Amino acid sequence: MTTPSATLATFAAQLQFTDIPDAVVRKTEDLLVDWFGSAVAGFGSRPVQSIARFALAMGPADGPSEVINERRRSSPYAAAMANAAASHVAEQDDVHNGSVFHPATVVFPPALAVAQAVGASGKDLLTASVVGYEVGIRIGEFLGRSHYKVFHTTGTAGTVAAAVAVGHLLKLTPQQMQHAMGSAGTTAAGLWEFLRTAADSKQLHTAHAAGAGLMAAYLAQDGFTGAAQVLEGPQGMAAGMSRDADVARLTDRLGSRWATTETSFKYHASCRHTHPAADALLQVMQANQLLPTDIAQVTTHVHQGAIDVLGPVVNPSTVHQSKFSMGTVLALVAQFGHAGLAEFDQHFLSDTTKTLRDRVRMALDDEVDRAYPARWIGKVTVQTTDGRTLHGRIDEPKGDPGNTLSREEITAKALRLADHSGGATPARMQAAVDALWQVAQWPRVGTLLGA
């Protein structure tokens, strides 16, 4: 009578730190530090501030959990929502390719808030985070491509990921964990419709996932029950929100395949769907020593998901929207070799950027589409102003597991993000990051930036 939901719940409840291979622990530390940089990158963002104001207005004026960018403390619920909103806005947080799911922004905020509230150790926090990654990634893979066409998987699968991470810290039994998953799954939400008008919903989706998932776990601890098979049941998430769900993905090599290590870091500050083409353009420009002015036209050969998400953005009017514009991203990469936060802020609507942007188009590519989402291949064809046709290609964009960032690069990225947002002084951020690299040694999880 073991169901996929029950198997996942048992894994989530029973995983021990000592069960996790060293390399997976090290990768989780990498992901945690990288997430912290993204959280501080959200400092000063208008939609992030709105969510933090709401959470703090509706929550207690003090509490055990840190609202990082406000230097305030409140309840774990309020802190989880505010920090989750903060860490997705810069589009610099991690992504798991196969599930098209951003785990960090929905796993670490609720796990950190609850770890601070219950006095968990650094090892507990890392273990709970691995639980969130392993379960959330598998749910994203299970829900499939049809789900992602309408639903923001980070919001939907993310709600359950948040629940199991928090549930692990609350020491739920396997049965309680299954109830927590049921409550999380039945409140999971997030639609792509907001992209069409460049609305703020992406930040709401991560806040909602963190908050609803955390609530589901606390309710389960208190005896509140949820659907036993909210994922795969006949009136569950897949029944309502997917047409190509693959139930075998839910428990795929659970405990031996560590999906956490498959997670990619973001190098460019844009939607991940733009990165393969951006790196392929860099490759062909470097190989042929092209200047931006040499480019007459760029055709990016992409998967259907890129067209679905980026297609509606034809004339971006805001920095955030321009991160979903393939043309803008490639224009910045052509000019600066990197599309970072500073490049977006200063140049997303410059005349040069707009001219280059309008020379970029997307075309569905069969090889790229078949490889996706397991592999995100980048292919571009460049027509030069002197009449040449050049081809660029990369098989793993920068930040993917086979082309990953070093700890030095992760640290530098976090410092760059904090400096850009003004969320922490360089010295304060350096000290916080240095401390966070030692998280596995922390007897109790404290605040990251003080509050």
If one asks whether residue 149 binds a second copy (CB under 8 A), the answer comes out as: yes
If one asks whether residue 205 binds a second copy (CB under 8 A), the answer comes out as: yes
Which stretch in 7-15, 76-84, 103-111, 294-302 sits in contact with a second copy by CB under 8 A?
Answer: 76-84
Q: Nearest Cα to 13, choosing from 204, 180, 211, 184?
A: 180
If one asks whether residue 253 binds a second copy (CB under 8 A), the answer comes out as: no
If one asks whether residue 196 binds a second copy (CB under 8 A), the answer comes out as: yes
Q: How far is the CB of 119 from a second copy (least distance, A)?
A: 16
Which stretch in 51-59, 120-128, 370-378, 390-398 sits in contact with a second copy by CB under 8 A?
Answer: 51-59
Q: What number of chain residues touch a second copy (CB under 8 A)?
A: 63
Q: Which of 119, 171, 239, 358 binds a second copy (CB under 8 A)?
A: 239
Question: Which tokens sit at 169?
Answer: 């810290």
If one asks whether residue 347 binds a second copy (CB under 8 A), the answer comes out as: no
Chain-centroid distance of CA 130 in Å reads 14
If one asks whether residue 237 binds a second copy (CB under 8 A), the answer comes out as: yes
Which stretch in 34-42, 147-155, 329-337, 409-417 sits in contact with a second copy by CB under 8 A?
Answer: 147-155
Three-state DSSP string of the chain: CCCHHHHHHHHHHHCCHHHCCHHHHHHHHHHHHHHHHHHHHCCCCHHHHHHHHHHHHHCCCCCCEEEHHHCEEECHHHHHHHHHHHCCCCCCCCEECCCCECCHHHHHHHHHHHHHHHCCCHHHHHHHHHHHHHHHHHHHHHHHHHHHHHECHHHHHHHHHHHHHHHHHCCCCHHHHHHHHHHHHCCCCCEHHHHHHCCCHHHHHHHHHHHHHHHHHHHHHCCCCCCCCCCCCCCCHHHHHCCCCCHHHHHCCECCECHHHHEECCCCCCCHHHHHHHHHHHHHHHHCCCCHHHEEEEEEEECHHHHHHHCCCCCCCCHHHHCCCHHHHHHHHHHHCCCCHHHHHHHCCCHHHHHHHCCEEEEECHHHHHHCCCCCCEEEEEEECCCCEEEEEECCCCCCHHHCCCHHHHHHHHHHHHHHHCCCCHHHHHHHHHHHCCHHHCCCCCCCCCC
Q: Which of 15, 33, 39, 78 binds a second copy (CB under 8 A)?
A: 78
Q: How far is the CB of 381 from a second copy (least distance, A)?
A: 29
Q: Which of 16, 22, 223, 387 binds a second copy (CB under 8 A)?
A: 223
If one asks whether residue 102 binds a second copy (CB under 8 A), the answer comes out as: no
If one asks whether residue 395 binds a second copy (CB under 8 A), the answer comes out as: no
Q: Nearest Cα to 80, choosing from 149, 148, 5, 169?
A: 169
How many C-alpha atoms does 422 have within 13 Å on its Cβ side? Answer: 2
Q: Which of 19, 21, 23, 58 binds a second copy (CB under 8 A)?
A: 58
Which stretch in 47-55, 87-95, 362-370, 404-412 sits in contact with a second copy by CB under 8 A?
Answer: 47-55
Which stretch in 17-25, 223-231, 273-281, 332-340 sits in contact with a second copy by CB under 8 A?
Answer: 223-231
Nearer to a second copy, 76 or 399 (CB): 76
End-to-end CA distance of the chain: give it in Å, rounded. 48
If one asks whether residue 89 binds a second copy (CB under 8 A), the answer comes out as: no
Q: How far is the CB of 78 from a second copy (least distance, A)?
A: 7
If one asks whether residue 1 binds a second copy (CB under 8 A), the answer comes out as: no
Q: How far is the CB of 188 from a second copy (least distance, A)?
A: 6
If one asks whether residue 23 binds a second copy (CB under 8 A), the answer comes out as: no
Q: Which of 4, 42, 59, 158 binds a second copy (CB under 8 A)?
A: 59
Nearer to a second copy, 4 or 397 (CB): 4
Chain-centroid distance of CA 128 in Å reads 17
Q: 150-189: which residues touch a second copy (CB under 8 A)?
A: 150-151, 155, 179, 182-183, 185-189
Q: How far is the CB of 149 from a second copy (least distance, A)?
A: 8
Q: Which of 230, 280, 377, 418 binds a second copy (CB under 8 A)?
A: 230
Binding site for a second copy (CB under 8 A): 46-47, 50-51, 53-54, 57-61, 75-78, 149-151, 155, 179, 182-183, 185-201, 204-205, 208, 212, 215, 218-219, 222-230, 233-237, 239-241
